[in-house]
Amino acid sequence: MIKSTLFCQAHIVNEGQVIVGDVLVVGDKIEKIGQNLACDGADVVEANGFWLMPGWIDDQVHFREPGLTHKAEIATESAAAAAGGITSFMEMPNTVPQALTQRLLEDKYERADEVSVVNYSFFMGASNNNLEEVLRTDAKRICGVKVFMGSSTGDMLVDEEKILEGIFKESPTLVATHCEEESVIRANMAAAKQRWGETVPMDQHHLIRSEEACYRSSSKAAELAAKVGTRLHILHISTAKELALFDGNKPLSEKMLTAEACIHHLWFTDADYATKGTHIKWNPAVKTASDREAIRAALLDGRIDVIATDHAPHTSEEKNNSYFQAPSGGPLVQHGLPAMLEMVHEGVLSVEKVVDLMAHRVAECFKLEDRGYIREGYKADLVLVNPDAEWTVTGDNIMYKCGWSPFTGAKFKSRVIGTWVNGVRVWDGQKILTERGNHAGERLTFDR
């Protein structure tokens, strides 16, 4: 028997407007959007006063499997993602082993098919030595190729000019880049060590991994992409200076160069290092309040195209170390959407704009098939939010395997009370549900 769900009198946030109406889901797809809908045998969700929105598509996460599962696993982090209103993720290749061959990449897909609560795709990794493998990437079944133009784990730093140009010129799909200029970072780090030795204060992080390090690498990537015709997506923009590289006037469908902003660069500033310390140590670094305000403004004028988490968990033991010993990255998938909706309550963004940046534009940027909108015939990836259900992030409600959050103690006004993936309810506001063996997610496909 095909399962049906009827959402009644929801505030449907979709395609730039909020309308009150009903949504009928039959099987894994949205069957009908309208008023006073009925369906015999459907599960009825009384959604009056709640926001119903397409699920967030997070285009940058690190779920640590294989090889780093003491930090996180696909099963645990996809569950936390579902609790945070994420219905699809795109995961990065710097696991152990690194996803530098098509076989290793497919191993990750096979694992996700077994355990992922939400939909998934995985980036193909690039290095100085695997151009032939990169060129075998299937643009219809893989989200993109990831290039580290800055520090990374293992040998994934692509710093040979000929190889970098070859990847940019010949990649069969979108190229996503981490842009930080390694030579600038090394010089800044040497100067910091000369002053402080091994006890460099955490508040130097944004000066070591500086504005200049970010801009020099981002501008280099943008220039090379324009030269060879690359479809380039620059990840986690962290500085005001970099925003000059992007065009806010061109429609997304016409852009060859797009930009992503992350939750932590939209929320924290360098002033927070005093209280948060290494728990907000990311690469690129959280920078100044003026950088944060510039990035927020770029969400509104079109220079920033999408929002992501860069979810990258480490254990508390790893993070509770000195500046040089603590790894960069932190867990965010459970709390990213509530944080963005807090900005709605503060008047920074409209809820329609949040949905545009976290669902619609991600789908368009990556050319996802049948996802990212509430449309008849599209996959039923849906999130129900109570906009007025205040809650506090505590150790008791954190779902990450690592058990901590940079948002611990934060109060959010909005709560995710339901998440549906391909028509299956996987989150009820309190717990992950067990339908379909707790893994309703499917492999994402792309219209390229």
The CA distance from 199 to 53, in Å, is 46
The CA distance from 274 to 292, in Å, is 17
Residue with tokens 């930080």: 180
Tens-binned pLDDT, residue by residue, of the chain (448 aa):
789 999 999 999 999 999 999 999 999 999 999 999 998 999 999 999 999 999 999 999 999 999 999 999 999 999 999 999 999 999 999 999 999 999 999 999 999 999 999 999 999 999 999 999 999 999 999 999 999 986 655 567 888 889 899 999 999 999 999 999 999 999 999 999 999 999 999 999 999 999 999 999 999 999 999 999 999 999 999 999 999 999 999 999 999 999 999 999 999 999 999 999 999 999 999 999 999 999 999 999 999 999 999 999 999 999 999 999 999 999 999 999 999 999 999 999 999 999 999 999 999 999 999 999 999 999 999 999 999 999 999 999 999 999 999 999 999 999 999 999 999 999 999 999 965 556 789 999 999 9
The CA distance from 350 to 369, in Å, is 26
Identity (one letter) of the amino acid at 112? A
DSSP state of 250: S
Helix (H, G, I), strand (E, B) or coil at 378: coil
Would you list the domain boundaries of the chain? 56-366
Closest CA to 350 of 18, 100, 126: 18
Alpha carbon distances (Å) from 272 to 89, 146, 244, 402: 28, 30, 26, 21
Cβ-based neighbours of 28, under 8 Å, separated by 6 or more: 379, 380, 422, 423, 424
The CA distance from 218 to 237, in Å, is 9
Q: Sign of dihedral through CA atoms 106, 109, 114, 115?
A: positive
CATH code, residues 56-366: 3.20.20.140
Would you say how long the chain is, in residues? 448
> Which pLDDT score is estimated for 138?
97
The neighbouring-strand residues paired with 308 are 262
Alpha carbon distances (Å) from 99 to 120, 122, 123, 141, 145: 15, 9, 8, 15, 10
Q: Which two tokens stand for residue 274?
A: 């005093």
Q: Which two tokens stand for residue 446?
A: 């792309």
Give, for 253, the enclosing helix (H) or strand (E). Answer: none
Average pLDDT, the chain: 96
Cβ-based neighbours of 343, under 8 Å, separated by 6 or more: 266, 296, 349, 354
Q: Is 229 left (phi over 0), alpha (psi -120 to 50) or beta?
A: left
Identity (one letter) of the amino acid at 80? A
Closest CA to 17 of 287, 240, 351, 299: 351
Q: ∠ CA(182), CA(185), CA(186), 5° rounding? A: 85
Identity (one letter) of the amino acid at 430? Q
Helix (H, G, I), strand (E, B) or coil at 420: strand
Q: What is the pLDDT of residues 111-161, one digit of tens each?
A: 999 999 999 999 999 999 999 999 999 999 999 999 998 665 556 788 888
**What backbone torsions phi and psi does residue 14 show, to the nearest 5 degrees?**
-165, 130
Cβ-based neighbours of 215, under 8 Å, separated by 6 or more: 239, 241, 242
> Do 12 and 33 touch, CB atoms closer than 8 A?
yes
> Do 213 and 180 touch, CB atoms closer than 8 A?
yes
> Do 85 and 337 touch, CB atoms closer than 8 A?
yes
Q: Is 310 a catalytic residue?
A: yes
Cβ-based neighbours of 106, under 8 Å, separated by 6 or more: none
Exposed, middle or buried, 329 (CB in 10 Å: 0-12/13-18/19+)? buried
In 298-447, the DSSP E strands lie at 306-308, 382-386, 391-392, 411-412, 415-421, 424-427
Helix (H, G, I), strand (E, B) or coil at 327: coil
What pTM did the predictor assign?
A: 0.97
Residue among 28, 59, 310, 356 flagged as catalytic: 310
Q: Which two tokens stand for residue 170?
A: 């010949």
The CA distance from 122 to 176, in Å, is 12
